[in-house]
Chains A and B, each alone.
Chain A
Amino acid sequence: MTQHKSSSFRATLKQELPDWVRESIVTEEAAQQLTARYELDKLSKESSGLLAAVIFTLGGLLLGGGLLSFVAANWEEIPTVAKVILLLITLLAFHGVGYWLWHYKGWSRLGHALVFTGSLVFGANIGLMAQIFHVSGEWYGAFGAWALGSLVMAYAARSWITGVLALVNVVIWFLGISHAHQRTGMMVIPLLAAAIFLPLAWQLRSRVLYAATFVGFTIMLCSIAEQQHNSFKYILISLVICGFTTWAAGEFHRFKNIRPEFGNLLAGLGILTLGTISYVWSFHEWWQEGNWLNRAEAKPPTFYWLVPAGIAAIAGLTLIVMIMQEINALPTRRLLAIGITVASGILVICAMLGIAHRGDQMLLTLVVNLAALIIAAVAIAIGVMDERRAAFWAGTVFVVLLIISRFLEYETSLLLKSAAFTLCGLAMIMAGITYEKYLTRKEAHV
């Protein structure tokens, strides 16, 4: 249960509870039940533990950096064999001491930080080893080796932060290798990465690693789409599919109550992705023919990027179908789901019309703006229904941004601009006041 509630909620509850007992709002017994339910006794330990984890990780990084700098300062005087031994011992020391503190001494956060630093040292050692023996090669090869070693360590040590390190390395390696070797087999890598990192994040209940995997998949898919076509419309399709699937995954976690802690983050990330791309592509410049970003390269097009894109789209739609029953039970939720699906569909259709050189430029721009407005409306609605200020304000600011952008983009008189900006400002203030009053009323009602 504690995983569903924020630390700030639990801290407030812990602070308020003694007063409630004193004022007979809740009984002593009820207070004890609440304390047990929300694990309030562990709160201070968790907070200090988090602080300790940050401090230990930073300390580990500085320690590693200090050691490497010390060695680097005396590097030339050290014989080759001694250099190699030194690199191996350093790696073993970080992992060995880290593991010993983590599992045998109960210093789990310090131990975890040292094991993570060990994987950073491993990456640095790959570079140093290549330097000692003058190993030449493609730059991304080192990231591939680093990714593999970090990934194995992330699974073995059950370390989410090492998993994030491995994921970042996989993405960097993929960007390098897919650019250098545009082979069909590349389409497997994003899917393989998702199949490897999602179960790890699931096991470790790591929201950061889980969301990062979706982001990594998106970057990899966009990379191969861009390399094969050199046209923004294919990137737009990739981004829409990934944004939609990320949102669908978030909704699945929320409605099915399976790992619900992943739900809000993923749904928010999905809407943020869709909102950002619809804003970026709401400018008419993108849809003008002859724009260099609209041209596919003269080489024969290959469409193997459509395989991971298609699988992602099917996964997203499947997740939505799986929660259809739960969504249908809540009409407002159904409306929001339809809104996101329709906006995603509009963006994909516009990109496809652009690829086929069909459709009026102005009409396409207008329709993309409409999709952006739908996404903004969904964010505002979530803010109202779930009483989430961040969503409400993000949606409101998005609407205002769209309006201001259009006025700055097109030739309009200063007077009209002035009127539009004034109205936007007033509308934003009014919306804010209304929203805050609404929240206050709801709180009073509760």
Chain B
Amino acid sequence: MNKRTLFFAIAVAVQLVILLGVPARKVYTRATGRDIVLQVAPVDPYDVLKGYYVTLGYDISRPGAFPNAPTLAVNEVIYAIVEQAEDGIWKPIATAQELPQNLPANQAAIRGRWHQGRILYGIEEFSIPESKRDVIADDLNKNRNEARVDVKVDANGEAALLRLRIQDRVYE
């Protein structure tokens, strides 16, 4: 292989690594994380960059949902501690600024970032298949309080969005 071809091959490899690096964190969380269910509320149904998707808000997105939520600087890391309720949904109980250790089995910590008075967890965008776009948007509007998401949370608190459920309908 001559030098020119080698450089070209390296450039293609770099593009492949970047491409695979985009979902790497989410793939790891999906593979190693535990399942939790969160209640959602749709906010914004359209984005021009990635096509159609819903921007999801959660109870844990509001600092007011926690009794001890501090006010942090932009992008500062915060961990939301959630606990599984009797209905299977995980509810906010506290926040921590370090990853909590030795949580009981019915509790989990999700890593978030402070952003303009809200906490973002990297699970706010759910891509909508084009053919189901209107169906999902309609479903979400009509059953705003019935929407849940299945999420994986790994040992570091990173979360990955798996699917959206509205009553007995599942969207992946």
A152 to B12, CA, bound (A): 9
Contacts of A148 in B (CB 8 A): 14, 18
Whole-angstrom CA separation of A127 from B75 in the bound complex: 23
Task: Please pick, from A92, A95, A131, A149, the residue contacting B18 in the complex, using a CB distance under 8 A.
Answer: A149
Whole-angstrom CA separation of A156 from B15 in the bound complex: 12
Is B16 located at the chain interface by the 8 A CB criterion? Answer: yes
| Residue on B nearest A158 in the bound complex, by CB | B4
**Would B8 and A157 count as touching, CB distance under 8 A?**
yes
A181 to chain B, nearest CB (A): 8
The answer to whether A153 and B15 touch (CB under 8 A), given A131-B50, A133-B27, is yes
Asked whether A136 lies within 8 Å of B130 as measured between CB atoms, the reply is no
Across the interface, do A134 and B123 meet the contact criterion of CB distance under 8 Å? yes
* A103 contacts across to B, CB distance below 8 A: 4-5
Residues of B contacting A401 in the complex (Cβ-Cβ under 8 angstroms): none
Chain B residues, Cβ within 8 Å of A70: none
Verify if B70 is at the interface (C-beta below 8 Å from A): no
Q: Are B11 and A134 in contact (CB under 8 A)?
A: no
Give Cα A181 to B160, complex, Å.
Answer: 25
Residue of B at shortest CB range from A139? Answer: B49
Contact A136 to B19, CB < 8 A, known contacts A76-B131, A103-B4, A155-B11: no
Whether B22 contacts A126 by the Cβ 8 Å rule is: yes
Q: What are the residues of chain B within 8 A of A125 when measuring CB–CB?
A: 19
Q: Is the interface of A mostly helix, strand, loop or mixed?
A: helix
B23 is contacted by which of A91, A132, A149 (Cβ under 8 Å)? A132
Q: Is B46 engaged at the interface, CB distance under 8 Å to the other chain? A: no
* CB-based contact B15/A152 at 8 Å: yes
Q: A95-B12, A155-B11 are in contact. Are A126 and B125 (CB under 8 A)?
A: no
Contact of A156 with B11 in the complex, beta carbons under 8 Å:
yes
- Whether B22 contacts A145 by the Cβ 8 Å rule is yes
With the chains together, A137 CA to B160 CA distance in Å?
12
A75 at the interface (CB under 8 A from B): yes
Q: Could you tell me how many residues of chain B have their Cβ less than 8 Å away from some Cβ of chain A?
A: 37
Q: How many positions in chain A have a CB within 8 Å of any CB in the partner chain?
A: 36
Q: B69: shortest Cβ distance to chain A, in Å?
A: 21
Are A126 and B12 touching (Cβ within 8 A)? Answer: no
Residues A134 and B22 in contact in the complex (CB < 8 Å), given A91-B16, A92-B12, A157-B11 = no
B26 touches A145 (CB 8 A): no
| Bound-complex Cα distance A135 to B18 (A) | 14
B129 near A: Cβ within 8 Å? yes
Tell me how far the C-beta of B4 lies from the nearest C-beta in chain A, rounded to whole angstroms: 7
B84 lies within 8 A of chain A by Cβ: no
Chain A residue numbers with a CB within 8 Å of B122 are: 135-137
Say whether A134 contacts B125, CB under 8 Å: yes
Q: Is the CB of B11 within 8 A of A87?
A: no
Residue of A nearest to B161 (CB): A134
Smallest distance from the beta carbon of A382 to chain B beta carbons, Å?
Answer: 41
In the complex, which of the residues B8, B21, B49, B126 contacts A127, with contact meaning CB atoms closer than 8 Å? B49
Q: How far is the CA of A149 from the CA of B11 in the complex (A)?
A: 7
CA distance A396 to B8 in the complex (A): 49
Q: Does A362 contact B (CB under 8 A)?
A: no
Residues from chain A with Cβ under 8 Å of B75 in the complex:
181
B85 part of interface (Cβ distance < 8 Å)? no
* Contact between chains at A134 and B130 (CB < 8 Å): no
List A contacts of B23 (CB < 8 A): 129-130, 132-133, 135
Q: Is the CB of A126 within 8 A of B18?
A: yes
Looking at the complex, which one of B4, B18, B126, B160 makes contact with A145 (CB distance below 8 Å)? B18
Residues on B with C-beta less than 8 A from A234 are: none
Where the two chains meet, the residues of B that have a C-beta atom closer than 8 Å to any C-beta of A are: 4-5, 7-8, 10-12, 14-16, 18-23, 26-27, 30, 49-51, 53, 75, 120, 122-127, 129-132, 160-161
Task: Give 17 pairs: A residue, B residue, CB < 8 Å, sorted on A.
Answer: A75-B130, A76-B132, A91-B19, A92-B16, A103-B4, A119-B15, A127-B51, A131-B53, A133-B30, A134-B127, A136-B122, A136-B161, A149-B15, A152-B11, A152-B15, A153-B12, A156-B8
